[in-house]
């Protein structure tokens, strides 16, 4: 098995799962959506329902940031730290996979 295949499996798994989730959500009946909304205390039949947050009116942090012109309301620094950690970790994983492959 190549190194690339060892590394790519999370993406492949996630792609398959996301495709199935999409199918499930497309197949969901109106009743199922209303029931799930009611579980959350939402009433999609009501004008301005929280269920429509982000689609009928902006509520996302990014949208609010754009509205108020505030630039530091962002998870970007956290994301940058996460990616930096990933960059440090990945060469180690690749080296280990190669070593494993060589041993085989």
Partner 1 sequence: MPQRKMLVPILAETPAQAARAQNLVSDMDLLRLKTIARWHARGLPADVGWADLLQEAFARVLDGSRRQPQGLSMVVFVAGVMRSLKSEHWRRAGRELHYQRAQAAEPREPAPDPERTMAALQELAAIDRLFADDPVVLQIIAGIGEGLSAEQIRTAIGISSTEYDSARKRMRRVLIREGLTCRQE
Cross-strand partners of 53: 57
**Interface with partner 1 by CB under 8 A: which residues?**
4, 7-8, 10-11, 13-14, 16-22, 24-28, 30, 32-33, 35-37, 39-40, 42, 44, 50-63, 74-76, 78-79, 82-83, 86-87, 90, 94
> Which CB atom, from 14 or from 103, has the smaller least distance to partner 1?
14
Q: Which of 82, 84, 63 is nearest to 73 (CA)?
A: 63
Query: Rounded to the nearest whole angstrom, what is the least distance from the CB of residue 87 to partner 1 in the complex?
Result: 5
Quickly count helices (H) and strands (E) in the chain: 4, 0
Query: CA-CA distances (angstroms) from residue 9 to 12, 56, 88?
Result: 5, 37, 20
> Which CB atom, from 57 or from 103, has the smaller least distance to partner 1?
57
Q: Is 74 helix (H, G, I), strand (E, B) or coil?
A: coil
Query: Rounded to the nearest whole angstrom, what is the least distance from the CB of residue 92 to partner 1 in the complex?
Result: 11
> Which CB atom, from 19 or from 70, has the smaller least distance to partner 1?
19
């Amino acid at each position: 098995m190549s190194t690339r295949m060892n590394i790519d499996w999370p993406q492949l798994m996630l792609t398959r799962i996301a495709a199935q989730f999409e199918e499930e959500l497309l197949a969901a009946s109106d009743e199922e959506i209303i029931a799930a909304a009611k579980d959350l205390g939402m009433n999609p039949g009501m004008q301005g329902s929280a269920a429509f947050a982000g689609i009928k009116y902006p509520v996302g942090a990014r949208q609010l940031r754009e509205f108020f012109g505030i630039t530091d309301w962002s998870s970007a620094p956290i994301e940058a730290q996460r990616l930096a950690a990933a960059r440090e970790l990945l060469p180690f994983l690749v080296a280990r996979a190669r070593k494993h492959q060589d041993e085989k």
